[in-house]
Amino acid sequence: MASLRDIKARITSTKKTKQITKAMQMVSAAKLNRAQNNAQSFLPYTEKIREVVASIAASGTQVSHPMLEERPVKKTGYVVITSDRGLAGGYNASLIRELMETIKQRHSSTDEYAIVVMGRIGRDLFKKRNLPIVQEIVGLADQPEFHDIKTIAKNTVDMFSDGVFDELYLWYNHFVSPITQDVTEKKLLPLTDLAETAATSTYEYEPSEQAILERLLPQYAESLIFGALLDAKASEFGARMTAMSAATDNATSLIDELTLSYNRARQAAITQEITEIVGGAAALE
């Protein structure tokens, strides 16, 4: 049985842990609010580019672009967005687990795919498993700007245009609520679903539809990567806030249990002392 000193030491250390998890919960809640605003503010930009590109593609004119055309798939690229830090529940584990299962089902060799990874957690795990990483970026800000990932986004899109990849997929956690994050796979390139977007405006193009398409398509693909990153950041902070809330609740329950054990042990010790005093006094009579 633990001594009173041991129980008291555990209570003290658990209280300190609770203070840390509570602080992390509050910080994550503040970051979540800002991350949600960032993700929502970026959506209209992406949707408008998509509308313009879809309008050109559906105009019936003779325009073409490699990003709009499917081709035989020899190599697949996966853009995977994880976090740099842990303590976020199953945020990273569920994403990586589903990605690994998908890769195992689709590919029989590492020559058939390659990974572009954002986040230290994913980078370290993929390297440990000797998976083919062609680009990586770690240490992104909690509230990233587009210029933070412009280089890696442009290089990734260029690898598709140059034929390094024949298709590209985005893998990230989509934010649903602070307690729910959905592992999401989105086909990044080629853009084969533009016909589903209905144009709400009529456009006149200068200098030409083909020239606009060649300029907008890479920007649109890069914006999809950045939009997924913003969404993933909101999911990360939601997952961390939920995990730290659960940790704080567990610490509170543990403190209550330890306090009860401490009081019982202290009462037993006092009772034992009284018994010994009474017994000693009786022996002297």
**C-alpha to C-alpha distance for 77 and 181, rounded to whole angstroms:** 23
Q: What is the 3-state secondary structure (H, E, C) of 23-74?
A: HHHHHHHHHHHHHHHHHHHHHHHHHHHHHHHHHHHCCCCCCCCHHHCCCCCC
State residue 272's pLDDT score.
76
Dist CA 151 CA 144 (whole Å): 14
pLDDT of residue 265: 83
Domain boundary assignment for the chain: 25-242
Going from the first residue of the chain to its last (285 residues), give the mean pLDDT of each consecutive group of 10, the final group possibly shorter: 82 94 94 93 87 74 76 94 92 95 93 95 95 95 93 93 93 93 93 65 72 84 94 96 94 93 84 74 65
Class for domain 25-242, per CATH? alpha beta
User: Do the beta carbons of residue 250 and residue 6 sit within 8 Å?
Assistant: no
Say if residue 112 is exposed, middle or buried (CB neighbours under 10 Å; 0-12, 13-18, 19+): middle
pLDDT value of residue 64 = 73
Q: Is the dihedral of CA 89, 93, 99, 101 positive or negative?
A: negative
Maximum alpha-carbon separation in the chain = 116
Rounded CA separation 42/227 (Å): 7
pLDDT at site 67? 83
pLDDT given at position 182: 94
By three-state DSSP, how is residue 2 classified? coil
